Amino acid sequence: MIKVLVVDDSLFMRRLVSDMLNSDPEINVLDTAKNGAEGLEKILKSKPDVVTLDLVMPGWDGLTTLKHIMVEHPTPVLLLSAHSKKDAEITIDCLHAGAVGFVLKPSGELSLDIENVKDELIAGVKAASKVNVTRLKSLVAKKPKKQKHKLISVNKIVVMGASTGGPQTLEIILSSLPVDFPAPIIVVQHVPTLFFTESLAEHLNKVCELEVKVAENNEIIQSGKVYLAPAGSKMTINSCSSFGVRNLIRNPRVENPEPRITEHHTISLRQEKQNLCGPSIDISMKSAVEIYNDNSIGIILSGMGQDGLEGMMGIKESGGRTIVQDKSSLIFGMPKAVIEAGYADRVLPANEIPLAMEEYVS
């Protein structure tokens, strides 16, 4: 049985969440708490396997409560978050502070229709229960030293896929890369709404030397930039050509300048239904292989399920290189699937992945 503590300032929400979780035969709600301080007290007393935590509460809010939990008794925490830009920003902060995942309330802080996310809530609790508590502590591992050598721009691309546990791991990896990283990086992180993609990009952009941004349709891909696939879109990479002529000022003796063709690689976005297991890692990786062939580098980080398995197979079979996060992953599902299928060139902890990336693009 998975032992759960429900922390929410609303009596109504505590009862609804408890009833939904108790309806599953593998879950038992031990107790509830009406605020963060009471929640911490009950965590220390009953030692639950998982805590569900509301973000907005009087006294200690969700982030403050989470920080106390991670210091005094690290426990897998699943957040309950509302659909708003502000809540998305707080949720991203909580993920970097140690929360393992989140479930969106359907209609605001007091969601009378929270039954609509019952399956997601139960799945989230079960996923959180599989997290090794020691992995929570490893998320604040010492970052590796940046390399001193100069990197030269190359015609290669890195496509990185992640789900639960991804935001924390992305910070460790991306913040360790130098500003002159010589290839573009595509990041496909499973998130339910664009608010969360934007908030994640803003957070990473503050802590990384590389520019991190939400990808835009038809924009040209450039080395040294990180492009996050927006929630609700299928992101692919296309190749296009533009025509120009020689510069007549620099070449005044050229009477009939020849046309010059310049090839660009661009991002293409197609709308899709938003869900917690999107955008698709496989789709982005496969499109990278079509354009870059053996110059593709695939990376799979923490997450449940098998998204990214087919993409990594395509990269491996094309002659590209593949890296998979090891058992330090918060959730070892996606990495494990790639390893067992035999498509992982290297299996590494998060803080060793940046150096491997530099080696592969050099």
Task: Indicate if the pLDDT at residue 289 is higher than 50.
Answer: yes
- Positions of E strands within 71-126: 77-81, 101-104
End-to-end Cα, the chain, rounded Å: 49
The 10s digit of each residue's pLDDT in 251-279 is 555 555 555 555 689 999 998 765 556 79
Q: How does the average pLDDT of the chain come out, rounded?
A: 87
Cis peptide before 335 (omega within 30 of 0): no
Cα-based angle 6, 12, 18 (whole degrees, multiple of 5): 35
Segment 31-58 mean pLDDT: 95
pTM of the entire predicted model = 0.85
**Which DSSP helix (H) or strand (E) runs through 195?**
helix 194-207
Question: Average pLDDT, stretch 2-7?
Answer: 98
Residue 63 has pLDDT above 70, yes or no: yes
Going along the chain from its start, the domains and CATH numbers come out as 2-131 (3.40.50.2300), 157-243+258-361 (3.40.50.180)
Task: Specify which of 61-75, 230-244, 260-274 reaches the highest per-range mean pLDDT.
Answer: 61-75
Contacts of range 68-72, beta carbons closer than 8 Å, 24 or more positions apart: 68/36, 68/40, 69/39, 69/40, 69/43, 69/98, 70/97, 70/98, 70/136, 72/40, 72/43, 72/44
pLDDT, position 86: 80
Query: Tell me, what's the pLDDT at 152?
Result: 57
Nearest by Cα to 110 from 173, 156, 55: 55
pLDDT of residue 246: 44
Which of the two residues, 9 and 247, has the higher pLDDT score?
9
3-class DSSP assignment, residue 359: helix
- Give me the active site residues, please: 163, 190, 307
Whose tokens are 């990086």? That residue is: 185
pLDDT tens digits, 125-155: 998 998 877 777 666 554 555 555 555 556 8
From the list 172, 153, 137, the residue with the least C-alpha distance to 355 is: 172
What is residue 239's predicted lDDT score, i.e. its pLDDT?
83
Query: Which span out of 86-90, 148-152, 200-204 was modeled with the highest average pLDDT?
Result: 200-204
* CA-based radius of gyration for the chain: 22
User: 3-class DSSP state for residue 4?
Assistant: strand
